[in-house]
């Protein structure tokens, strides 16, 4: 047994002892990397993911530079994936796809990498940086494996993640409206509309642009009100052209009437 492998065996033996895994200890105590590997495969095929990952990790350094190197790396990563430790599996699978681009396991590795990231994506209320990363990983998988049988699954995941981004954009803009920062709300809603023109929240976004413009005009100094009421009226016309039978029709009609009254009154005074 090499000195390097003996150190790995010692560390794994200590972990196995803590976990009380006699089968793992017996394999490790042989000091034979082949036996450790074979026992790891037995646990892997029996879906004993944690035991399998421990043994595969123990023998992995011994097989570097051999034909088994990518097999062990893939199986180890898949153990964490199947055990739903997506943070670890995503890190291992990312390393795998960068290191073993020509491996027979590359399609499955890239698929599991994307799914791992997908499963870590938060609800729309939280930061969506990881959602962007997951969408990128899914896009790369689709680009690399356009004939994959898993394509329908990834299409659905893309739709779900896109929905989350649209919802997050709406929530961020609506927050400004809720705290009465109407100028910021107008900008945020318009940016949301520009960034996600096909959003499921399009009607809501355009409605709140109308309402924000009106509120902004109401709360402006007199010298600015005419222009801002006219802006509110423009937003209203844009809205009703696209949504003539909207659930918000009554609300936006009231806003339009208010804006028209102000404009007509102040034009006469001029």
What pLDDT score does 27 carry? 75
**Taking phi first (over 0 means left), then psi (-120 to 50 degrees means alpha), and beta for anything else, what does residue 20 get?**
left
What pLDDT score does 63 carry? 95
Give the Cα separation of 40 and 43 in Å (integer): 5
DSSP 147: T
What pLDDT score does 56 carry? 96
What pLDDT score does 12 carry? 45
What pLDDT score does 14 carry? 39
Q: Give the residue from 116, 108, 148 showing the smallest Cα distance to 134.
A: 116
Tens-of-pLDDT digits for all 270 residues of the chain?
454 444 444 444 434 443 445 677 787 877 788 899 999 999 999 999 999 999 999 999 999 999 999 999 999 999 999 999 999 999 999 999 999 999 999 999 999 999 999 999 999 999 999 999 999 999 999 999 999 999 999 999 999 999 999 999 999 999 999 999 999 999 999 999 999 999 999 999 999 999 999 999 999 999 999 999 999 999 999 999 999 999 999 999 999 999 999 999 887 655
pTM of the model: 0.83
What pLDDT score does 22 carry? 61
Give the Cα separation of 197 and 135 in Å (integer): 18
What pLDDT score does 270 carry? 56
Q: Give the residue from 267, 38, 127, 149 showing the smallest Cα distance to 141.
A: 149
Which residue intervals of the chain are DSSP H helices?
Answer: 3-19, 22-29, 33-45, 49-59, 69-82, 86-99, 106-119, 129-144, 151-178, 182-195, 202-218, 222-242, 249-269
Q: Give the residue from 179, 248, 245, 244 showing the smallest Cα distance to 211.
A: 248
């Amino acid at each position: 047994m090499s000195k390097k492998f003996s150190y790995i065996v010692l560390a794994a033996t200590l972990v196995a002892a803590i976990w009380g895994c006699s089968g793992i200890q017996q394999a490790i105590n042989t000091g034979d990397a082949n036996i450790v590997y074979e026992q790891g495969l037995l646990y892997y095929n029996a879906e004993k993911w944690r035991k399998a990952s421990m043994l595969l990790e123990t023998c992995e350094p011994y097989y570097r530079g051999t034909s088994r190197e990518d097999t062990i790396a893939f199986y180890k990563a898949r153990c964490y994936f199947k055990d739903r430790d997506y943070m670890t599996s995503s890190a291992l699978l990312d390393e795998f796809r960068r290191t073993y681009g020509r491996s027979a396991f590359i399609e499955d590795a890239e698929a599991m990498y994307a799914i791992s990231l997908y499963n870590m994506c938060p609800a729309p209320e939280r930061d969506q940086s990881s959602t962007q990363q997951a969408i990128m990983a899914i896009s790369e998988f689709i680009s690399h494996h356009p004939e994959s049988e898993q394509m329908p699954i990834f299409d659905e995941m893309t739709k779900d993640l896109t929905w989350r981004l649209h919802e997050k954009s709406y929530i961020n803009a609506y927050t400004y409206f809720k705290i009465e920062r109407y100028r910021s709300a107008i900008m945020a809603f318009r940016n949301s509309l520009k960034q996600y023109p096909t959003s499921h929240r399009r009607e809501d976004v355009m409605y709140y642009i109308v309402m924000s413009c009106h509120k902004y005009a109401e709360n402006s100094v007199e010298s600015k009100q005419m222009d801002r009421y006219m802006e509110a009226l423009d937003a209203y016309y844009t809205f009703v052209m696209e949504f003539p039978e909207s659930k918000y029709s009554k609300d936006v009609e009231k806003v339009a009437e208010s804006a028209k009254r102000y404009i007509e009154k102040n034009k006469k005074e001029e």
